[in-house]
Each structure stands twice: as structure tokens, then as C-alpha cells.
Amino acid sequence: MRTLLLAALLIPFHVSRVEAASIRQLVEVIDFSGASVSPDGHMVAFRTEQASIERNTYDTVWYVQPSDGTSPPRRLGDGGEPLRHGGVSVGEVAKWSPDGLWIFYRAVFDGRVDVWRAAVDGSRTEPVTRDPANVREFSLSADGTTLIYRVGATREDVVNAELAEYDSGVLVDRSLPLGDNVFRSAYHEGRLSTQRLIDRGGLDHLPLLELAPSRWKAIELSTGTKSDLSPDDVPVSPLTPPDLSQNLGEIWQATQDTGSGRVAILTRTGEGNGLLNRPTVELAVLSGLDARQPMKCMAELCTNRPISDILWRPRSDEVLFTVSDPDKGLGQSIFRWNVDTGGVLPVAESRGEMGGGGRWRPGACAPAVDALICVAAEADRPPRIERVDLESGERKVLFEPNVALARDMAESAPVHLLSWTDVHGTRFAGQFFPATSTGDKPPPLFVVYYRCSGFLRGGVGDEWPLATLARNGVSTLCINAAPYKTDAIERYDTGRLAIESAVDFLASRGDIDPERVGVGGLSMGAEVAIWTTMYSRVPRAVSVATPGISPNLLLLFSLWEDTHLSRLKRYWQLGELDKTPERWRQISPSFNPKQLNAPVLMQLSEQEYRVSLDYAVQMIRTHQADVYVFPHEPHQKFQPRHKLAVYERNLDWFLFWLQDIEDADPRKANQYARWRLMRETNLAMTGQ
């Protein structure tokens, strides 16, 4: 992204609303990842990541700090641009030298991925690998003298392959993402890359030559001497569930104690009853990799609990496990299980996350002998680094660079955890930002459905500025989705009922006006928003960040034949149009866009917008939708200027439809002219 055209970088961004400063703060929140503790347990390394709207890029910085917090963090150096998957930043974890004097990490600079190292005393940072190919993974030898790393095709080979296709034409086969730009269509590893579809359990967009054979290399750190590794010297991959006996059940997480060789596992059990995953999690330990008889945790604190992560406490007989409770808005608690005595003790409890900093799935903290180092965050408090004492449970903030935003949120955007049930008795929980009524009616409501963990910028994908909307008089609610059902109609209707029951619940308390409700979502949340707009009269306006299910999928992925059809059948119970026509008509808005009972704002990524064209174009023509496409964006948008634009337009959209408010900025005149025409069309269609 650093190579964006200078002209694009100089585009002025004007934000006229006073509250838009909060939108900027939401875009430029400092996030954390990569926490790891030194071998002696005295220091912790971590990385910060912050968007820069002016430069339309991200700055990452590596720090070290005493794990007891006796002194502030020391800045070691620039970490380059974040690596990403589907738009989501990949948390890079630093590896420590055995003597604790260096940390090693991958970094992206100028479109190349190398291993760098930084002296813990802050004296220098330097690249280690300097390889013609990007580094995919690396490790250190046990004595710390040798760095071992894996690469694929060289950068020169990738560029030459891209240019050769450009000159001679691109072969259309199933690896080509049909409908995408065929040349350098998205960012990968710091540069615009030509993409291919690769099936790795799902169809991923990955760079050209990604499947080139891997090569392992080694560098002697004292001399810089490089050598190729023979197959016999390739390091053993980290333990994964498939490495264990398949007779142990549905293992979905496993971690090995480096000292004893014991393996802690999480297994899904119970009857699925139409759910994608079995409903119960069992915690157990195996005596070794070849063990067949797990020892289960039988204490009350670890049975029938939604355990989400496990790790070993160093030099102990304890497994530390995290519980993410849906009834508490995915608030997390940490426990320790002594596998010898069977006893379980609570360590700490939070109303938010205490994980590893991941936005979709936070992960585990970094363990030391006497403490955990965690990235903590709540719905109304931004991320920070905390130390959690394993004996007393005492929590101590080590580094909180978002303290000004945290203070601002506490003073002006309080959040409340809500819990309610729908007409079938299904329980839901969500985070509610109440607005103050400015008239004789309660405030309107905006609802986003999917996942609401950690610091809430705008739900999954961070597209709807929840706190800013509340400051502007629109209450907001983020609903955590019910367990994923395999039947799409049941899944969507569960979401619809969650939204309708939440509106009824809040209206019964006088908190919101049920006649002024907006709905939004990304991915499955967008599908629920579209379904709710088709089959409910609740939404007055809708905003989606990804397309709904459309027959265009059949064309765009038709070269994948059974692979894609099996996915359509598994997740949506859809086949070819002539074989499941009624199911298509039930799920997709393509057959009757007028069935959508509210105006729709679509802010879509360039990689995905084509899926929606069969119904989006009709809705544009009939003044039912306003559609925007963001260049070079994957499933979740990440470019800072795009994030700012999406936030600002969503704020404008819902203030217009739910409060009849228009921004006076003259550059938005055309926007409001379209929306007023949409309002006239909507009134004519609904007869309101």
C-alpha cells in the first residue's frame, strides 16, 4: 500500500460533522498482537498496529517491556506493513533468542517479507534473511545459533509470471477468479498482486505461484552463511489436531507441554441437532502424542463450559483455559486446571476479552511462570496490554496508548450488556449503546448481527460507527449470533427473530422507537440483514458490506464444478437453478428485488461486488439501493481511507433515514439528492 499513486494520497478528506472526530479515532485505534514472553519470563515483546488515514497505510511497531510493569515499554523498531488474510491482519508473534537478547519476527518492507531481528536493549534492528523470495515461516535452533526459514517462488519469478500473462493473455481456467481484474487486483504481502483461487478448505484468493514448491534454508547467525536444508533437516511442524489419533473424537485445539510432552486437547461433543459444530466442549490431557486414553477435566468449572482456548503454564502441571461466555456477551474468564490433582481454580474474569488481540477470534494470552500477558479490551474500552497474576488474579495495565479514547468512551458512550429471548425461547446477548432522545419520541435504533467481541468499533468488519451513531441520537445494538445452524433458512430466520425480539424488548422498556430501526451486517451478518429486510417489516433502512447469495455464484464459480456445488449444498442447501428453484427464490433477492422492504446501502469490496450485480443493478435503476465499490479490497475492507469513507457514509445514511438529518457539506449534495429520490420511491412502494 505504500506504493499508492501520489495523486491518490493527496486527495483531501473533509469531515464536516463535529462527531466525525470520533470516526477518525475508531479508524486509528492502536491494536496489539504478537505478545510473547522471554525465556526467563522477565520481559514481554508485542507489536502495535495503527492506521494512518493521511498515508492510507498502517504503522506497526515492536516493543519490549518488563513483564512486571516496573518500567514503560521500549520501542525497538518499525515492523513494516501487516500481513493480511481476507483483509484481516495476521498477528505476527516474535520469537526470542535463548539468551533473551533478541527478538525475531517477519516484516514487510517495500513488497518483500524477510525475517528481522531487534536487540532487546533497543540498540539496533536489522534484516536477517535478505532472501529473493518472501519468507513464509521460520524458527530458531534450540541453541539459538541458526535461523531456519521456508520460502516459495522468488519475487522476480512472481513478477515475471505476472508480466508474461499480461503480454500473452491470461488463460481462463478454474484458478482464475472470474470477474476479478486479471492483473494485480489486490494487495498481498505489501504489493498489488495477481490472484488465483486455491482450495484450502475454502476458496482463497492467493498470489500467483503461491503453490510453487517450498524450499527450506538456514542461516548461521554469527557469520551470515546460508545453506539449503535437506528434507531430513526440515523442522517438525507445530502440533495440530490431525496429528493426534482420529479415534479421540472431534479434536479442534491441541497444545503440547514442551517439558513433559503431555498434550492438552479440546474436543467437541454432544449431538449437533442441525448445528455446524457439536455444542459441548471437553477439556482433556493426553500423556503423549501416541496416547489413546485422554484424562478429562471433571471439575464443575471446566465441564459444560464454552472453553475457547488452552495453553500450558510453563514449568508446571497446570493447563490454563479461557471460557468465552455467550450469555455474558462473550466476556472471558481464565481458569487453571492442575492435571495431577484434578483441581480447577479461577484466575480472572472480564466483561470483555483477555485474549491475544485477534479481532475475529482473540486467542490466548502469552504465559509466564507466574503471570499471563494479555491483550485486554471491552466493548467500550480500547485494547491495552495487561499482566494477570496467576495466583492472585490481580490485573495490572502495562501499556495503554488508547487511554484518551478510553476516557472519551467512558464519559460519552457507555455500553450496556443486554440479554433477552425470542418467541421460541432462544437466548441472545448483545452490547447496547443507548442514545439520548432529542424529541418527544424515544431514539431510533441501529442493529448489527454476527459477533460483538472486544472493543466495538462497528461489528464484524468495523463498518458501522456504533458509538458515534449513539452520540448523534441513534441507539445501537450489536447482537452475538446464535450457534451456526447448517440449514440456511433456519440460520437466517434465527437472526431475524433475534433482531425483532431485541426491538420488541427495547421498545417495551421505552428505550427505542420501533418504527425507526436500521439493520446492517457483513458476511453472514449481511445475509441475515438481507433476509430480515425480505421477510420482516422492522427495518426502515439497511446497510450491507458484502453481497447476499446470488445465482451469479453459479456462473463465477462454475469451473470449480462439484467443489463449489458441494459448498452451496452444505451451507445453503442450494443446487443448480433448475434443481432447487424454490430454495433459490426463498434465499436470494435476485428474483424479486422489490421484496426488499427498505432502501439498501451497499458498500462492497471490489473482490465481491460482482456477485450482487444481478439484483443490485435492478435496485439502482428502481431507486432502491445506493451501491459503492472499493478498489483492491477483499472480504473485509482494510485500507484506512476506505474505512473512514464507509464509517462516514453509514453515519450519513442512518441519520438520513432514521432522523431525517442531512449533512450540510455541499460535496454531499448529490448523495442526498439520490437518497431523497429513494425516499420518494420507498414511500410509493410501501404506501406509507
For residue range 276-315, what is the model confidence (pLDDT) as tens digits?
A: 999 999 999 999 998 989 999 999 999 999 999 999 999 9
Domain identity same for 434 and 403? no
Average pLDDT over residues 204-230: 95
The DSSP call for residue 484 is P
Residue 5 lies in a domain: no
Closest CA to 339 of 315, 321, 319, 322: 319
Residue 2 lies in a domain: no
The DSSP call for residue 275 is B
**Phi, psi torsion values for 100, nearest 5 degrees:** 75, 15
Is the pLDDT score of 99 beyond 60?
A: yes
Query: What angle, rounded to 10 degrees, do the helices at 20-27 and 640-659 form?
Result: 140
Residue 122 lies in a domain: yes
Is the pLDDT score of 12 beyond 50?
A: no
State how far the Cα of 284 lies from the Cα of 385, in Å rounded to an integer: 29
Reading the block at residue 440, the C-alpha cell is: 418527544
Residue 563 lies in a domain: yes
Domain identity same for 84 and 115? yes
Q: Among 189, 207, 239, which residue terminates a domain?
A: 239
CATH of the domain at 460: 3.40.50.1820
Domain identity same for 317 and 430? no
Compute the residue count for the chain.
688
CA–CA distances in Å: residue 601 to residues 18, 148, 314, 371, 640:
23, 49, 51, 47, 20
Q: Does residue 383 sit in helix, strand or coil?
A: strand
Is the pLDDT score of 207 beyond 90?
A: yes
Query: What angle, rounded to 10 degrees, do the helices at 488-508 and 524-535 form?
Result: 70
Is the CA virtual torsion 329, 334, 340, 342 positive or negative? negative
Give 490 or 92, the one with higher predicted confidence.
490
Is the CA virtual torsion 339, 343, 348, 354 positive or negative? positive
Q: 4 with 27: CB under 8 angstroms? A: no
Q: Among 190, 205, 239, which residue terminates a domain?
A: 239
Is the pLDDT score of 248 beyond 80?
A: yes
Domain identity same for 423 and 374? no
Domain identity same for 275 and 316? yes
Neighbours of 191 (CB within 10 A): 20
Domain identity same for 371 and 505? no
Q: Residue 506 — very low, low, confident or very high, per pLDDT cuts 50/70/90? A: very high
Domain identity same for 232 and 330? no
pLDDT tens for 18-32 read 444 489 999 999 999
Residue 11 lies in a domain: no
Domain identity same for 59 and 134? yes
Share of the chain above pLDDT 70, in %: 96
Beta strands in 451-495 (DSSP E): 475-480
Average pLDDT over residues 500-528: 97
Q: Among 587, 605, 640, which residue terminates a domain?
A: 587
Residue 401 lies in a domain: yes
Average pLDDT over residues 472-483: 96
Domain identity same for 315 and 369? yes
Domain identity same for 293 and 402? yes
Average pLDDT over the chain reads 93
- pLDDT at residue number 109: 95
Reading the block at residue 583, the C-alpha cell is: 430454495
Reading the block at residue 424, the C-alpha cell is: 421460541
Reading the block at residue 413, the C-alpha cell is: 458512550
pLDDT tens for 346-396 read 999 999 999 866 666 777 899 999 999 999 999 999 999 999 999 999 999
Residue 8 lies in a domain: no
State how far the Cα of 597 lies from the Cα of 687, in Å rounded to an integer: 11
- pLDDT at residue number 232: 86
- pLDDT at residue number 488: 97
Domain membership of residue 125 as a residue range: 17-239
Domain identity same for 103 and 206? yes
| Most trustworthy range by pLDDT among 157-161, 185-189, 450-454 | 157-161
Share of the chain above pLDDT 90, in %: 85
State how far the Cα of 21 lies from the Cα of 16, in Å rounded to an integer: 9
Neighbours of 270 (CB within 10 A): 13
Q: 331 with 316: CB under 8 angstroms? A: no
Is the pLDDT score of 413 beyond 90?
A: no
- pLDDT at residue number 7: 35
Q: Residue 681 — very low, low, confident or very high, per pLDDT cuts 50/70/90? A: confident
Reading the block at residue 310, the C-alpha cell is: 488452552
Reading the block at residue 277, the C-alpha cell is: 459444530
Average pLDDT over residues 206-230: 95
- pLDDT at residue number 8: 36
This model's pTM is above 0.75? yes
Amino acid at 330: L
Reading the block at residue 498, the C-alpha cell is: 433475534
Q: Structural domain tally of the chain?
A: 4
Domain identity same for 275 and 235? no
CA–CA distances in Å: residue 426 to residues 330, 422, 440, 474, 482:
16, 5, 33, 26, 8
- pLDDT at residue number 339: 97
